[in-house]
Amino acid sequence: MSQSDYKADALKAKDKLAEISPTMCLAKWNQVSLHLPTGLTNSCYHPPLHKIDHTKLKDNPAALHNTKEKLQQREQMLSGDKPSGCSYCWNIEKTGEMSDRHYRSGEPWAMQDFDDIRKNPIDETWTPRYVEVNFSNACNFRCSYCSPQFSTTWARETDLYGEYPTTPPHNAPEHFQGSRKPIPNRDPNPYVTAFWKWWPTLYKNLKHFRMTGGEPMMDVNTYKVFQYIIDNPKQDLHLNVTSNMCPADKKLKEKYFNMAQEICMQEKVKHMMQFVSVDAFGHRAEYIRDGLDFNYMMDNVEEFLDRIPGRNSITFIITYNNLSITSM
Highest-pLDDT range among 226-230, 248-252, 307-311: 226-230
Query: In the prediction, which pLDDT does 14 show?
Result: 98
Mean pLDDT for the stretch of residues 146-150: 90
The answer to whether 219 and 186 are in contact (CB under 8 A) is no
Q: How confident is the model at residue 173 (pLDDT cuts 50, 70, 90)?
A: confident
Would the pLDDT of 64 be above 80?
Answer: yes
Query: In the prediction, which pLDDT does 175 show?
Result: 79
Query: In the prediction, which pLDDT does 171 show?
Result: 87
Query: In the prediction, which pLDDT does 174 show?
Result: 82
Mean pLDDT for the chain overall: 95
CA distances from 278 to 35, 172, 283, 285, 318 (A): 22, 25, 12, 7, 6
Mean pLDDT for the stretch of residues 103-132: 97
What are the pLDDT digits (tens) for 24-48? 999 999 999 999 999 999 999 999 9
**For the chain, how long is the longest CA-to-CA vector?**
56
Would the pLDDT of 177 be above 90?
Answer: no
Beta strands 312-317; 234-243: pairing state: unpaired
Mean pLDDT for the stretch of residues 135-157: 93
Q: How confident is the model at residue 166 (pLDDT cuts 50, 70, 90)?
A: confident
Q: What span, in angstroms and rounded, lies between the C-alpha atoms of 127 and 203? A: 9
More confident position, 29 or 5: 29
What are the pLDDT digits (tens) for 51-63? 999 999 999 999 9
Q: Is 200 helix (H, G, I), strand (E, B) or coil?
A: helix
Query: In the prediction, which pLDDT does 179 show?
Result: 74
Hey, what domains does the chain have and what are their CATH numbers? 3-128 (no CATH), 142-180 (no CATH), 207-317 (3.30.750)
Residues facing 275 on adjacent strands: 242, 315
Query: In the prediction, which pLDDT does 258 show?
Result: 98
DSSP class of 170: B
Q: Is the pTM of this model over 0.85?
A: yes
CA torsion angle 28 29 35 39 (round to 10): 100
Query: In the prediction, which pLDDT does 259 show?
Result: 99
DSSP string covering 235-252, please? EEEEEEEEE-S--SSHHH
The answer to whether 204 and 62 are in contact (CB under 8 A) is no
Judged on CB neighbours under 10 Å (0-12, 13-18, 19+), 1 is: exposed
More confident position, 9 or 162: 9
Other CB atoms within 10 Å distance of the CB of residue 249? 11
Would the pLDDT of 153 be above 90?
Answer: yes
Q: What span, in angstroms and rounded, lies between the C-alpha atoms of 51 and 30? A: 19
CA torsion angle 138 139 142 145 (round to 10): -80
What are the pLDDT digits (tens) for 298-316? 999 999 999 999 999 999 9
What are the pLDDT digits (tens) for 198-209? 999 999 999 999
Query: In the prediction, which pLDDT does 2 show?
Result: 62
Would the pLDDT of 10 be above 90?
Answer: yes
What are the pLDDT digits (tens) for 258-291? 999 999 999 999 999 999 999 999 999 999 999 9
Range of lowest pLDDT (48-52, 79-83, 102-106, 148-152): 148-152
Query: In the prediction, which pLDDT does 168 show?
Result: 85
Cα atoms found within 13 Å of the Cα of residue 140, Cβ hemisphere only: 17
Query: In the prediction, which pLDDT does 180 show?
Result: 78
